[in-house]
Amino acid sequence: MHLDFSPEDLAFQQEVRAFIAENYPVELRGKQDEGDELSKEDFLSWHKVLAKKGWVAPAWPVEYGGTGWSATQRYIWSEETARADCIRLMPFGLSMVGPVIYTFGTPEQKAKYLPRILSGEDWWCQGYSEPGSGSDLASLRTKAVRDGDHYVVNGQKTWTTMAQHADWGFFLVRTDPDAKQQEGISFLLIDMKTPGITVRPIITLGGEHEVNEVWLEDVRVPVENRVYEENKGWTCAKFLLAHERTGIAGVAASKRGVEKVKSIARAEMDGDKPLISNAFFKRKIAELEMDLTALEFTELRSLAGESAGKGPGPESSLLKIKGSEIQQRLTELTLEAVGHYGAPYFRGFGEGDNEHPIGPDYAHRAAPTYFNTRKTTIYGGSNEIQRNIIAKMVLGL
Amino acid sequence: MDFSYTETQDMLRDTLARFLADTYDFETRKKMLLRPEGRDPGVWKALATELGILGAPFAEEHGGLGGGALENMIMMEELGKVIAIEPYLQTVVIGGGALKRAPAAMADAVIPEIIAGNAVIAFAYAEPQGRYDLANLRTTAKADGGGYVLSGHKAVVYAAPWATHLLVTARTGGSQREREGAELFLIDATLPGIVRRDYPTVDGFQASEIYFENVAIPGDAHIPGGIGLIELLADEATVAICGEACGVSRKLHEGTLDYIKQRKQFGQPIGKFQVLQHRMADMFVEVEQIASMALMGTLKLDLAADERKAAVSLAKAKVARSINFVGQNAIQTHGGIGITVELAIGHYFKRGTMIENQFGSADFHLGRFEDLTLAA
C-alpha cells in the first residue's frame, strides 16, 4: 500500500499532460474562459480528439474500445484532465448506455452502437424520469405495446438532459402493466428522429437550456432495439445507476474548483486584506478541502475494491452523497467570494458583441452555477434515495 | 499507487483480531479496569510472547517484523474495536518511533525490550499551559556536567503509572514558546525526583501528572532532533489514533445497528423508521470517511514536513468531527440505555470522545492546515 507513482506512471502523466496541451481545442478553451454556453459542436470537439487517440472511454473493457489503463493511470487521467480544466465528456453514451450495451446487449447491438458512441457520431440522452415518477422511478407509466416486430411507445419523459442534441435515447418503458412495478419494465433504444417524438425545453434557474420534456406519441420502435429481456429492464436500470454514481463523486473537478475559489479569495479584498485572510472564509475553505480529501480517499479505496473484483456496489451511494454536497459547497463559496458581482445577469456574448461584461471574469458564472448545481443532490437518485439505498443494501435495514 | 494490503499485513490483522476476540470481551475488560493497577499486564505480555506482534513496526535487525506506520494503523484499528487499554500507542508507536530515530546504542538497548513486552513507555509531552502547542514548554533540561537536570510539570501522561521509561519533552534553552530549544529525552521512569500523581482517565486508561524535581538524567538520554522530531512523533501518534478511531467508530455503528434491529417501539423494530435509517446511513458515511482519512494520513507520513503536517491535520480534523457525530448519534439512537455504563456502547463513546481532542482538536488542526496552505 503506497501513493507513489512508478516511473511508468510518471511517464504516462507526462504523456497525458503533453497530449492535452497540444490537442485540447483552442476555441473551446476560449469559450470556457469567457463563460460562454457551449454548443453541441463544442462538447463534441474534445470528445472527437479523444476518440481519435483511443482515450475516450478509459473505463470500458479493452475489447470494446477501452484503454486498458490501470487504476493508477485512470486516476492520473482524471487528475490531469481536471488540472487542465478540460470539459467533462457527456456521460450518456460513454458512462451510461455504453456499459449497459456491452454488459447486457446482443452482439448485433454491440456492433451497431458501441463504435458510434466512441466516435461521438451518436449523441445519447436518458429517458428515465417522468412527471409522476421522480424518486419513485419504478412507478413509471410510459408504456410500450407490442405490435408485430415493433413496440408502440406512448408517454412523457422529463429532465431529459441535452435531449435537444440527441440522436438516440435509452428509455425505460412499461411493457407489462400487470406485473409488480419493477418487473414490468423494459430498456429500449430509441432513434430520436422517429416520428411521434417531441422535445420541449425546460429552462433552469441559471438560465440554461440543459433539460427537456420528451413526449412520445405512437412512437414505433423495432423490437431488436430492446436491450436484455422483455420486462427485465430494471436490471439494466439499476446497473446503470450504480455506474452513474461512481463517476458522480467528481473529485478531480472539485479539486480544481477549490483552487479556483482560492484564487478568487486571493484576488477579492476584505478590508485591507485579501478575502482568504478572513478567518471565517478561510475556515470554510479548509473544511471543504478536508471533506474533499476524505472523499478522494474513499473513492480510491472503492476503486481498489473494484480492481480487486468487487463491482461498484451500493457503497457508491456514499460517493454520490458526499461528492454532490461538496460540489454545492464549492459553488456556494464561489458566490460568496465574488460579493456584489454575483448579482449581474450575464448572458454571454452575442455574435459581434464586443462590449465588456460587468464585473470580474470569475464572477460571471458564479450565481448561475450555484443555482444550477442545486441539481446534484437531486439527480442520479436524490441524496435521500441514496440514504435509503445504504440503509437497505448495506445496513440491511 | 497501490491500495492493497500484503499477506503479512492481513495476517497481522487476523492474528490480533482473533486474540482480542478471545481475551478482550466487554466483561473481561471491565474486570481489568477494576484491578489495582487498572489493567491486566498479562495481555501485554501475551501480545509480545504468544503472538509476537509488538515488533510489527520495527526493523528486523532489532528483532522486529519489518513493518511501519501501516502496521501501526492496523494494530490500532483492531485495538480500537475492543477499546483496548493497552499502551500500544505510547510504547510502540510513539516510544518506538522515537527509538527508530535515536542513537544506535539507545535503540539497540530498548527496542528489543519493547518487542519482548518488558518495556512500557509513556509520552510526557503535554503541559498544563501548553494546550496542543508542542513547543510550549516550561519543563527544562539544564545541562549539568555530562548530563541534564529535569524540572517541571507534565500533564495527563497516559500509561505513566505502568511505564518503565518516560519519553519527555523539555527545554534546553529558549523562551517558553520558542521552537528552538525543545528537545526529547528517554529516561528511566524510576529515577529519584520523579513524583507522580496517578489517576484513571474517563476512557479507561491510567495516567499521571508528573513532577520532575531536579531529576538528574544522563547525557545519553537525549534523542537529537529537536522540535522537528517531536512534531513527527506527534503526527505519527495522531494518525495512529485516527486508526484507532476507525475501529472505535465501526463498533459504535455496528452496535447501534444491532440495537435498532431488535429494539421495538410502536409495535415494530425502530430500525424500520426512515428517520433512523437515514441517521444510520449518515453514520456509515462518517465511519467510512474516518477509515479513508486514517489511511490517507498514514500513507502521507513520509512526505516532507509541511506536506505531512497538512495531511495529518486534515485527517485528524475530519476524524474528530466524524467520530463526534458517530458517537453522539450512537448514544441518542440507543436512548436512555445508551447513557448508562451497562452497555459497551457508552464506553466506546467515551474513548471516541477523548480521541477527538487527543493530539489536537479539529479547530487546532484546521488552524494548522490553514497556516501551512492558505496564506494570502
Q: State pLDDT tens for residues B187-210.
A: 999 999 999 999 999 999 999 999
* Phi (first) and psi of residue A310, to 5 degrees: -90, 120
Superfamily of domain A7-89: Acyl-CoA dehydrogenase/oxidase, N-terminal domain (1.10.540.10)
Residue B372: helix, strand or coil by DSSP? helix
In whole angstroms, give the CA distance from residue A361 to residue B139: 55
Please give the CATH number for the structural domain made up of A248-394: 1.20.140.10
Q: Are strands B194-200 and B147-158 parallel, antiparallel or unpaired?
A: unpaired
Distance of alpha carbon B229 from alpha carbon B186, whole angstroms = 13
Catalytic residues of A: 244
At residue A348, does pLDDT exceed 70?
A: no
Tell me the one-letter amino acid at B67. G
Q: Which residue type does A28 have?
A: L
Residue B30 near chain A (CB below 8 Å): no
CA distance B10 to chain A (A): 12
Grid cell listed for A265: 479569495
Residue A314: pLDDT band by 50, 70, 90 thresholds? Answer: confident
Work out whether strand B165-171 and strand A273-274 pair parallel, antiparallel, or are unpaired: unpaired
Q: Is the pLDDT of residue A349 over 60?
A: no
Contact B1 A5 (CB under 8 A): yes
Whether B273 and chain A come into contact, CB under 8 Å, resolves to no
Decide if B299 and A71 are in contact by the 8 Å CB cutoff.
no
β-pairing, B147-158 vs B140-144, is antiparallel
* Cβ atoms A277, A286 nearer than 8 A: no
What is the distance between the alpha carbons of residues A141 and A173, in angstroms, rounded to a whole number? 7
- Residue pairs spanning A and B at CB distance below 8 A: 130
Residues of chain A with CATH 1.10.540.10: 7-89
Rounded to whole angstroms, how far apart are CA atoms B138 and A360? Answer: 52
- Is the CB of A71 less than 8 angstroms away from the CB of B1? yes
Cell 460562454 sits at which residue? A36
The pLDDT, as a whole number, for residue B13 is: 98
B257 and A CB contact within 8 Å: yes
Task: Of B284, B237, B241, B243, give the one whose Cα is nearest residue B260.
Answer: B284
Q: Which residues in chain B touch residue A286, judged by CB atoms under 8 angstroms apart?
A: 317, 366, 369-370, 374
Q: Which of residues 290-349 of B touch A (CB under 8 A)?
A: 291-293, 295-296, 299-300, 311, 314-315, 317-318
Q: How many helices (H) and strands (E) does chain A have?
A: 13, 10
Query: Is the pLDDT confidence value at A350 over 90?
Result: no
Kindly report the average pLDDT of chain B as a whole number.
97
| DSSP line for B199-245 | EE-TTS-EEEEEEEEEEEE-GGGEES-HHHHHHHHHHHHHHHHHHHH
Q: Which chain B residue has the Cα nearest residue A301?
A: B3
Model pLDDT, residue A207? 87
> Using CA atoms, how far apart are residues A98 and A117, in angstroms rounded to an integer?
7
Calculate how close chain A gets to B260, using CA atoms only, in Å.
9
User: What band does B239 get if pLDDT is binned at 50, 70 and 90?
Assistant: very high
Q: State the DSSP string of B152-178.
A: EEEEEEETGGG-SEEEEEEESSS-TT-
More confident residue, A380 or A64: A64
Average pLDDT on A217-224 reads 98
B98 alpha carbon, distance to own chain's centre? 14
pLDDT at A245: 62
Q: Please give the domain boundaries of chain B with CATH numbers for all domains.
A: 7-119 (1.10.540.10), 123-226 (2.40.110.10), 227-373 (1.20.140.10)
What's the pLDDT tens digit per position in B109-160? 999 999 999 999 999 999 999 999 999 999 999 999 999 999 999 999 999 9
| Residue B185: HSE in the Cβ half-sphere, 13 Å Cα cutoff | 29
Q: How do strand A124-127 and strand A168-174 relate by DSSP bridges?
A: parallel
CB contact, 8 Å: B268 with chain A? no
Assigned C-alpha cell, A397: 435495514
Asked if residue A202 has pLDDT above 90, the reply is: yes
Pairwise CA distance, residues A35 & B318, whole Å: 34
Cβ of B284 within 8 Å of Cβ of A318? The answer is: yes
Q: How confident is the model at residue A249 (pLDDT cuts 50, 70, 90)?
A: confident
CA distance A183 to A174: 9
* Mean pLDDT to the nearest integer, B275-292: 98
Q: Do A391 and B1 touch (CB under 8 A)?
A: no
Whether residue B314 and residue A289 make contact (CB cut-off 8 A), yes or no, is yes
How long a stretch of residues is chain B? 376
- Using CA atoms, how far apart are residues A85 and A73, in angstroms rounded to an integer? 18
Chain A: nearest CA to B68, how far in angstroms? Answer: 11
Instruction: Give the right CATH number for A123-231 from 2.40.110.10, 3.30.1490.20, 3.90.245.10, 3.40.980.10.
Output: 2.40.110.10
Determine the distance in angstroms separating the CA of B91 from the nearest CA of chain A, rounded to an integer. Answer: 24
CA atoms within 13 A on the CB side of B112: 8
Q: Is the pLDDT of residue A244 over 90?
A: no
Which secondary structure element, helix H or strand E, spans residue A153, and what is its range? strand A150-157
Counting beta carbons within 10 angstroms of the beta carbon of residue A180, is it exposed (0 to 12), middle (13 to 18) or buried (19 or more)? exposed
Put residue A394 in one of left, alpha, beta given phi > 0 → left and psi -120 to 50 → alpha: alpha
Residues of A within 8 A of B70 (CB-CB) are: 1
> How much is the CA Rg of chain A, to the nearest whole Å?
22
Minimal C-alpha gap between A396 and chain B (Å)? 9
The torsion angles phi and psi of B212, rounded to 5 degrees, stand at -95, 115
Residue ranges, comma separated, of all CATH 2.40.110.10 domains in chain A are: 123-231
DSSP per-residue codes, B49-117: HTS--TTTTS-GGGT--S--HHHHHHHHHHHHHTT---THIIIIIIIHHHHHTS-HHHHHHHHHHHHTT
Parallel/antiparallel/unpaired status of strands B194-200 and B206-217: antiparallel
Sequence ranges of chain A with CATH classification 1.20.140.10: 248-394
Instruction: State mean pLDDT over B338-364.
Output: 97
Residues 6+ apart with CB under 8 A from A75: A300, A303, B1
Of B261, B278, B374, nearest to A387 by CB-CB distance is: B278
Q: Which of B253, B324, B348 is nearest to A391 (CA)?
A: B253
> CA-CA-CA-CA torsion for B49, B51, B56, B59, nearest 10 degrees?
50
